[in-house]
């Protein structure tokens, strides 16, 4: 199905104002935005317009009850300059899984994909060319009812905007556990990219930073021994040659797109990958006996975030030097090479885009 998306271009692009050699993450935004409104049971008023603030009634439901979800993906250009989307259909499916958990309407996958293609096709010149750079894409849905009352909204906005970004982390990260906080519980919203999950993580993150760490390494809510995620990333461990990542089956851990791709690449390369519960004590024991070879976060923003050290119950455990961690370094290189079209995509994960319109 093809949708009728109204297009209103900016008169003059802001591209000339941007220093692409010095891009702060998440603070610079491209020329255009896609907006759709949901009412009377359907997505309507589909449009691409100049990037703009939203006008919200003070009673708008999202401001009071946090009925909001989002996605995040990156676009890079191949050596010929063609924009490449990476597994966008997986982001569309995950957005709708989140929507179902938060009692929000699905976005038809065809609409999601067409809006991405048209928006990025227009703003393709905003894709930076630096090795650690990309065009970050943020789809987001918010409840839009001007109504004070605890119930699912009847109206929503679905938005996609983009931002040129550089590296998310400039150095390896330091993690700590915090027993008094948890990220997710069984039956909760841990698997969804819901705004409230991230809001609840901010105080623990600040406390971790005040202690000298970068992020929290989240443990389970019941026994405080099973490792879930770190900050906003999935975690991987390499212990005695085996790659281990916490299982997502219980619904407490986000099913990361980067996580899934890493598992696929690793298995395709002949590595043993175990998706299973892993305890903090197992990781500590591996650190103490010298078999903990690597530990890293995986996510769209950072791709790979090497862990320098982790702290648990008063003791700090250091990881081997980053330069010795060949597997995670190769993973990051392989994924970025696929995303940027520098190698043949034998998996069929990249989606080339057509340049649709030019803005002077």
pLDDT above 80 (res 270): yes
The pLDDT of residue 358 is 56
What is the per-residue pLDDT for 190?
96
pTM (two decimals): 0.95
Report the pLDDT value the prediction gives residue 24, as an integer from 0 to 100.
86
Q: Measure the CA–CA gap between 333 and 4, rounded to whole angstroms.
A: 39
* Average pLDDT of the chain, as a whole number: 95
Residue 359, pLDDT > 60, answer no
Q: Distances in Å between the alpha carbon of 128 and those of 56, 80, 119, 329, 357?
A: 32, 14, 16, 22, 18
| pLDDT at residue 267, rounded to an integer | 97
**Distances from the Cα of 266 to the Cαs of 74, 75, 86, 271, in angstroms?**
21, 23, 18, 5
Average pLDDT over residues 140-152: 97
- Report the interhelical angle of 257-268 vs 88-101 (nearest 10°): 130
pLDDT bracket for residue 132 (50, 70, 90): confident
Given a cut of 90, is residue 146 above it in pLDDT?
yes
Query: SS3 of 180, please?
Result: coil
At residue 320's C-alpha, the angle toward residues 317 and 323, to 5°, is: 145
Residue 58: pLDDT band with limits 50, 70, 90: very high
Indicate the domain borders of the chain. 6-167+348-352, 173-324
pLDDT tens readout for residues 2-56? 999 999 999 999 999 999 988 888 999 999 999 999 999 999 999 999 999 999 9
* Predicted pLDDT of residue 356: 65
Residue % of the chain over a pLDDT of 90: 92
**Confidence check: pLDDT of 287 > 90:** yes
Name which of 72, 92, 75, 94 is nearest 84 in CA terms.
75
* Structure confidence by residue, pLDDT tens digits, 207-232: 999 999 999 999 999 999 999 999 88
pLDDT for 130 equals 83
CATH level 2 (architecture), domain 6-167+348-352: 2-Layer Sandwich (3.30)
Give the pLDDT band (50/70/90) at residue 167. Answer: confident
Asked if CATH classification 1.20.1250.20 holds for the domain at 173-324, the reply, yes or no, is: no
Q: For position 328, what pLDDT does the model report? A: 95
Q: Which pLDDT belongs to residue 170? A: 77
pLDDT at 266: 97
Q: Please report where in the chains the tokens 């946090």 appear, as a residue.
A: 66
pLDDT at 94: 98
pLDDT digits (tens, 9 = 90+) for 96-106: 999 999 999 99
Can you tell me the distance from the alpha carbon of 203 to that of 115, in angstroms, rounded to the nearest whole number? 35
Place of tokens 């630096």: 130
Instruction: Grade residue 65 by pLDDT with cuts at 50, 70 and 90.
Output: very high
Q: What is the pLDDT of residue 360?
A: 47
**HSE-up (13 A, CA, CB side) for residue 193:** 25
């Amino acid at each position: 199905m093809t949708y009728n998306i109204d297009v209103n271009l900016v008169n003059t692009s802001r591209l000339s104002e941007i220093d692409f050699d010095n891009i702060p993450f998440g603070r610079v935004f491209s020329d255009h935005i896609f907006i759709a409104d949901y009412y009377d049971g359907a997505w309507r008023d589909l449009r691409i317009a100049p990037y703009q603030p939203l006008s919200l009634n003070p009673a708008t439901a999202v401001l009071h009850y946090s009925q909001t979800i989002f996605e995040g993906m990156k676009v890079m250009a191949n050596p010929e300059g063609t924009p490449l989307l990476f597994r966008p259909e997986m982001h569309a499916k995950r957005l709708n899984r989140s929507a179902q958990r938060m009692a929000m309407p699905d976005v038809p996958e065809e609409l999601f994909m067409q809006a991405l293609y048209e928006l990025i096709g227009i703003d393709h010149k905003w894709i930076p060319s630096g090795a650690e750079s990309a065009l970050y894409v943020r789809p987001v849905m918010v409840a839009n009812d001007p109504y004070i009352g605890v119930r699912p909204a009847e109206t929503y906005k679905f938005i996609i905007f983009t931002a040129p970004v550089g590296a998310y982390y400039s150095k390896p990260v330091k993690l700590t556990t915090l027993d008094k906080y948890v990220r997710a519980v069984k039956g909760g919203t841990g698997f969804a990219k819901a705004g409230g999950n991230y809001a609840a993580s901010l105080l623990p993150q600040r406390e971790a930073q005040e202690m000298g760490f970068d992020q929290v390494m989240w443990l389970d809510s019941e026994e405080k021994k099973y490792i879930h995620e770190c900050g906003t990333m999935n975690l991987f461990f390499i212990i005695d040659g085996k790659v281990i990542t916490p299982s997502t089956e219980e619904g407490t851990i986000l099913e990361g797109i980067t996580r899934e791709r890493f598992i696929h690449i690793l298995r395709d390369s002949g590595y043993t990958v175990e998706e299973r519960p892993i305890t903090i004590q197992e990781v500590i024991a591996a650190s103490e006996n010298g078999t903990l070879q690597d530990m890293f976060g995986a996510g769209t923003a950072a791709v790979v975030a090497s862990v320098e050290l982790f702290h648990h119950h008063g003791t700090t455990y250091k990881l081997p030097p980053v330069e010795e961690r060949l597997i995670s370094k190769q993973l990051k290189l392989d994924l970025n090479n696929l995303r940027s079209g520098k190698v043949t995509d034998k998996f069929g994960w990249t989606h080339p885009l057509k340049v649709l319109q030019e803005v002077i």
